[in-house]
Amino acid sequence: MPVSTLDTMLAFVLGTETDLWLRLGFADKADGARPEVGMDYAEEYGAPYGDPTPGDRAAIMKLAERYPAAHQRDLTPLIDEMRNIKTPQEIAVLRRNGALSAEGLKQAIAHAHPPMYEYQIEARAAYVFRNGGASGWAYPAIVSSGENVNTWHYFNDRRQIQPNELVVFDFAADLDHMTMDITRTFNISGKFTPEQAKWYAVDLECQKAVIAMLKPGNTYEQASDAGKAVFEKNGEGKQWLGYPGHFLGLATHDVLRPKGPIKAGQVVTVEPIVEFPDKQMHFRVEDTVLITESGAEILSSGVPKEMNEVEQLVGSAK
């Protein structure tokens, strides 16, 4: 029914005390999770000329004013539980997006060489996404190098990359309302230095250890412990911040947090980070994983992550 009839209907059904179910929690968007949207609202509240009722807050307040007898109930937890377990149709879209996003990163890395600008790597992947039918990006591209490589969410992408520098490339598409999240780290000259190779191997080993635990019957805490053990073995346990990833779906940082039992139908990222800011080194290997009854299905497997394969890929299309 048209929204213009909503008040007529509500006036009829809310004439006496009753429950009115709404999403009272913060909204979210493809590239912004609920806490991020909440922080956006907070900035509006605090700004001298900000909107006093940003986003969906105005509709909630108007409903409360117009129907004071209604008891507003929060539908957010129920919606979130539904979003957390993907339908077969959503899984089909996610598989398509995983293949498309991986192909974009793969082609961009194959064309990467010094001296080129960060935005040129971004542009190559962006073309593949759009040409493959994506409606946009799951989040702004991160192509960081040099003094920017340790900024986790670096979006400027304007720097010219110098020989032998590390590049952290984090980018994916938004396809038919389903997002993706992939990161690869590589040396722009196509060969990791011995020290870079050492820590890349640690990061990859950690990621694989976590993914191996992602199956029903295990918990996200157990998966986290498996990754932490790899860090501790290599003297980097102090860097461990908990489960290295987040749920994914309609939003890149989707609703709920990975904790408790691992369930079939969940889609989660795995992205451990090893970094040394004083050396301008940051290593992040990230994949998006679908939990199935038999274990983890890596949706972003189309872009290489084994060290020798990454080195062979860099600049191979030049």
Number of H helices, E strands in the chain: 9, 15
Whole-angstrom distance, CA of residue 153 vs CA of residue 35? 16
Check whether residue 156 and residue 280 sit in a common domain: yes
Q: What is the DSSP letter of 279?
A: G
Q: Identify whether 318 is part of a domain.
A: no
Q: Identify whether 254 is part of a domain.
A: yes
Q: Identify whether 83 is part of a domain.
A: no
**What domain count does the chain have?**
2
Residue 15 has pLDDT above 80, yes or no: no
Residue of 123, 133, 124, 122 lying closest to 99 (CA atoms): 133
Structure-block tokens of residue 128: 């593949």
Question: Which amino acid is located at 131 in the chain?
Answer: N
Check whether residue 23 and residue 150 sit in a common domain: no
- Per-residue model confidence as pLDDT tens digits over 263-290: 999 999 999 999 999 999 999 999 999 9
The predicted model scores a pTM of: 0.94
Mean pLDDT to the nearest integer, 143-165: 97
Q: Identify whether 82 is part of a domain.
A: no
Check whether residue 145 and residue 175 sit in a common domain: yes
18-22 and 70-74: which strand pairing? parallel
* Residue 238 pLDDT: 80
* Residue 318 pLDDT: 77
Check whether residue 53 and residue 196 sit in a common domain: no
Check whether residue 278 and residue 158 sit in a common domain: yes
β partners of residue 298: 289
Q: Domain limits at 67? A: 3-74
Residue of 211, 298, 222, 297 lying closest to 261 (CA atoms): 222
β partners of residue 261: 219
Q: Identify whether 169 is part of a domain.
A: yes
